[in-house]
Every structure is written in C-alpha cells, then in structure tokens.
Structure 1
C-alpha cells in the first residue's frame, strides 16, 4: 500500500508550474570542461569541487582522460591521483572504470561510486566499488565491493551516506532496486526490487527538446529508480525512476531495518505526488527537496510547507543530472545533455559544446 502524506504538499505538487512560484534565480557558469561529459558533482565543506566523467568507448564526440577530478582554478586535476585514473580493465579493482557519483558526507568524506559499466555495458565485476576518501589526507580509507549482490547484473547509480546509522543507500536502475550497504560490516542487501515505486511506468517515453528520446532502432531511453535524496536529519529517503512522474519517500527507520520483509517495507512507502520528469534530486538542511525538470529546462524545489517553487528556467539546463550544495550557499549542478548525444540522434551529436558546470544562489 502506498500512503499519501500531507494533503497540502500533494495538492501543491499536482498543481506543478501552474501554481508554482517562479523565483527567476540567475544561472551562473562555473566552469567549461570541453567535450568531457560531466555526470556527478560533489562539494566539500571547504568548497572543493569534485566532478565525475563516464567512460565512452571509441566515441569521437566525447573526450575522456580522468574519471574523477578536482576542479582547481577552473582546471580538471585527477583525483585522488593519476594512478587511480589510469583506465585499465585488467586492474579494475584499483582503477576507476566508470565513475558515476561523488558525494560528500556530513563528516566531509568523499564517497565515490564506480558501477564499473562503461557505456552501460555489462560491468567489469572486479571494478564494482564504493570508495571512501579522506579529504584531509586525500587517501582512500576503505573500499566496498558489494559481494552480496548479483554483481554481473548490477548498475549502481547514485549514493547517499547516513553517518548516523553508518549505512549507504544506493539506487540501482538495472535491478530496479535500492541497495542498503552497512558501512561497518561491508554487507549489502537489495530492497524494493521491481516494486512499482522503483520501476518505470510501462510505455512511458521521455520527450525532450521536442522529440522522443529513442535510439536508431526505436528503443526508448529507459531508467528505473535513479535520483535519490536523503534529508539531513536522516529521517526520510526520497527516490524515483526517470521514466515515470511520481516521487516517493520512505522513513529511514524502515529502510534501515533489515528485519522487515519486502511486503512490510513496501507498506511504509509514501507517494509524495506528481513531479513530472526529473533526473537530479537533493535535500538541504532546511528540508527542501530539489528536483530537475528536464522537459522545461528548469530546477524546482518542494519546501517543507508544501510550496512548489521554480528556482530557475534556462535553456542551458539540458538533462540536469546531479546537484551538490556548496558552503557558499550555491546549488551546483551538471547538465549532461544525454538526450542530445549521437545514440539518440541517429549517430549525430546535437550536444551544445563545451559541457559546463553551473550554479545558482539559493534564496
């Protein structure tokens, strides 16, 4: 059973842009990164900027050198060092293969998620990992390998760290599931696999830039549970698939409880409401939930009071994928332009180069 929570919030979400307040915050360019397609972005407590770049095999439309970088004076520097960024599938356990996410936790550690699946191909098993990097020493402190998962079928996507319970919550759109990883023991488990809240809506096709997002065979882009958010008080976990329009949440006390059966856990799912097509998602300390609105080139947020606000609307916001909050009061984000790549345009790139990192000042 999917519960409805907060009638005010639900009604506000249903109204979407018709009732949303448009704050018209200017979008600022932080850096240009050429033909290197950015995915993840993480900001440390001291304002250090980290970015991830997927591995593209033999595609002249994209450049690739480093999977994870620190942005220093607008320049990309391999992080934590050049060795980790030397792509070598035969050394996948100690090299980055296809880094997806870089997230900074409440204790100012950097967590790097490598699903090890370049070009969305089957993963290099030895390379599937989550790294904890100490930002003071710039050293890798621990590596998690997910041996408890059916790794040959995984596609880990995004991660949030619960420092209170020492757990990590990870979306896996390939398995249509949430992964709960115990950071103390290294044990992981799958929850809500194939549930309607983690799965795509049958027949739902993305329509961006005025056309359906399909490859040359007519196969549409499709992603199960993808964007996730964890409130800063560790009370609620928000999640959604890309190919559907609803936003869901779970109280973390239930998500973190390994004693619950699948049915018992599912009984605690709450339907937040209709949010349209969204990729990136993030929560802030005030309880606001930030969501991308890809069809409308916009960033929105839902306040704790249930007010739906459009922060910025800008044509440069093509497929906003990842958000990060900076200590300077800015929301940082990548615009990946995935739908404009050659895969979905008959082999021709429609990308507006160079790729860029953006930010906007939060009110």
Structure 2
C-alpha cells in the first residue's frame, strides 16, 4: 500500500546488526530530524519590506468633510452613508465627543445631546471617548476611559457603551471593573468579537479581556515590553516630545481583532505590531512564561496614528511618520497605498462597504495636549476619502 509522503514507512531499527552500528546511528539521526520537523507547528509566512513607492496617485484622495472647531481622530462609516466622528476631549476639544454626519452634510451629537453633555451623571454620558468599533449587525461599541485629562487621574469609572446604530439608541452600559486597571491606566482602543471585548491600556501597557454579558474583566500582558512605549513617536518633523522636551511615551493604544476572533493585534503608537492568539486568554493551564511568550512580533511598523481591520482580515494603518496609508494582508503582504502631505498625523481610519477608506488628518501633535495648552492646528481639520485599489499588489 502506498502511504502519504508525510507518513512514509520507517526502517525497523531493531534489525540493525552490531556490525552496522555506524549506519544505525546515521538512521537514528535522520529519524530524529524528521520527527522534530513533523512535530514543529507550521510557521507563518515571513513579512516582507514595505514598498517605498505608493500605488495610488494624489487624485485617489479627496476631502470628505471638514471642521473648523473640532479635531477628529477616528471615523466609523455606517452602511447607510452616515459617518460617526470622534472628537476626544483630552486633546482640547469642546462640544460633542461623538457626532454623526448625515448624507446631507449636517452634524448632530450621537446618539443624542444628553450622552454628549459636559456634566451630569457620568454613567449616562460620554466622559472621555477613547475608541469605537462597529460590528456587522450595526452594533457600535464606544469606549469611555473616564480620563479627560491624560496628565491627571480618572474622574469617572471606565465603561463600554453599546449603541444600536439602526435605532440610534443606547442598548446598555458595561462598566469596566476597577480591579483590571492600574492607578495610571488610560484605556485607549477597543475591539469586539461576539461577546468578548479587547481593550488596550495606553497608560500602563496591557490588554483587558472583557466578557460582555457578565462584565467580567481580566488583565493580560501587563507591562509586556512588546506593547510598551520603547521607541519614539516620529513625524516628518522629527520625534514627538512633551512640553518639557522629553520624548512622548504612550503604551498600547491600538487594537484590532480578526474577523474570526482567533487573534488580536495590538501596538503602541511608536512601537511594532504584535499579534496574539486569543485562545491564550481562556486557557486555564497557561503559565506566566507561556503568556509572556505568546506575543509574536507581526510587523515592524512605523509610527502609527491609528489602524482598522477589514472583513477579510486586511489591516489598514495610518503612518504618521510619512503621511501614508498602508495595508497588510493576512498573508503578510504590505502595501503603501498612498503618501500625501495633506495627511498630517492621519488617525484611525474607517472603511465603507464600497471600497473606500476614510482618514482624519488629525494633526494631534498640534493640539493643546501636545503643545502645552497652546494649539497650533491648521484649520479646517479634514477627513479624506481614499479610493482603495481593486488590483492585487504589484510584484
């Protein structure tokens, strides 16, 4: 009977005679090599270098909407053409922290004015928006860090807000357990798959895994070096510094989960992209050493202002070091889609269902939070619409 190649019949070592010891040792060594090879898990394809030349011309990038009052740092596109825009208070914004732009170009607080009130019951308003993500069923999850000033302590408990974008109503609020946080925690970035939320901590590096039905939260990868601020955040003007001249340090602030929920990617703005299989978070037998080693460096990204993930698992990155939009397939193929001087600190992009990516040119390094209270933003702040390529990456 013919056997498959990976299950070839092996020689009977018991039949090796003493006079054939040398040959036997050779066979044993060969068998050991074969056995180790078969036992090793398949390695993912190696990443290749990011192309230096962008694929798309400047004409592929066009203004979508603008503001002369607010700095938007994230956009989510709804299937009906409306756009949700995030204007975080911590960078110096006033007014609604979450707005919806209708197809006619008008803006209103979202889901309503009460949830965007500047004061009142903290459990019934957005205190400090820190990320949002849209699910296929129209559910929007909004992260509220409760930290409107990143240089000060939290003023309200952190929470997740579930919004039905079809009815434009808040469905429920999931409080985030304080036991999963540190005193200096500043939650920033949320990804959701089914009943599990993954939240990044940019104040003290870590990932929170939250069971949404029970609101049970557990902290993992606490202060892990791969998701900590170990490299400077670089723009075309050079490294970003604080008011006293020190290099700005922000830990893990960007996070995404694969469409099948099998892995997450997370990184700090100035760090590299790390990937973690989600089964590690629910394995009761995992050791601290195994947890520490579960993080795989997935790509040596430049400084990023945001990222999002498409339904096919492709990652889209906003490169603040060159003013570029990059993409990265699940097969680890990088693409430089466009580089444009208009993309000043491009932030968290959003996809629509017709092949476009919407990117806010947030100029975060010119906001009050980065300029010691003296903003130098060049108004208006613009969200750009990028027509994505429909052809495979160039070879």
Q: Is 1:22 the counterpart of 2:36 in the alignment?
A: no
**1:1-363 to 2 correspondences below 5 Å:** 6-9=44-47, 12=48, 15-18=49-52, 22-24=55-57, 26-55=60-89, 63-72=93-102, 73-88=104-119, 90-147=120-177, 148-150=179-181, 152-163=183-194, 166-201=195-230, 204-244=231-271, 246-257=272-283, 260-345=286-371, 348-363=374-389
TM-score (normalised: structure 1) = 0.87
Change in Cα spacing, 1:150 to 1:171, as seen in structure 2 (3 Å) is closer
Q: Which runs of 5+ in 1 are unaligned?
A: none
CA shift in 2, pair 1:135/1:346, >3 Å = closer
RMSD of aligned C-alpha atoms?
2.4
TM-score when normalising by structure 2: 0.81
Q: 1:266 to 1:131 in 2, by over 3 A?
A: same
Post-superposition CA distance 1:37-73 (Å, at most 9, x none): 112222223333111111259xxxx551101111112
Q: Tell me: CA distance 1:346–1:142, structure 2 relative to 1, closer, same or farther (3 Å).
A: closer
* Separation (CA, whole Å) in 2 of partners of 1:4 and 1:297: 36
Task: Look at both structures and tell me which one has the larger radius of gyration over its CA atoms.
Answer: 2
Q: How far off its partner does 1:294 sit? A: 0.9
Distance across 2 between alignment mates of 1:343 and 1:211: 18
**Is the 2:132–2:142 Cα contact (8 Å) retained in structure 1?**
yes
Which structure ranks higher in relative contact order (CA pairs < 8 Å, sequence separation ≥ 6)?
1
Determine the C-alpha separation between the residues in 2 that align with 1:212 and 1:4. 38
Do the aligned partners of residues 257 and 144 (structure 1) sit closer, same or farther apart at CA in structure 2, a change above 3 Å counting? Answer: farther
Aligned match of 2:8: none
C-alpha deviation, 1:256, in angstroms: 4.5
SS of 2:94's equivalent in the other structure is coil
Q: Report the alpha carbon displacement of residue 177 of structure 1 after superposing the two structures with TM.
A: 0.4
Indicate how the Cα distance of structure 1 residues 343 and 118 shifts in structure 2: closer, same or farther if over 3 A, else same.
closer
Q: Give the CA deviation at 1:351.
A: 1.8
Distance 1:258 1:154 in 2: 26
CA positional deviation for 1:21: 5.9
Give every structure 1 segment of 4 or more consecutive aligned residues whose post-TM-superposition deviation is greater than 6 Å.
none
Q: Quote the offset at 1:167 in angstroms.
A: 0.2
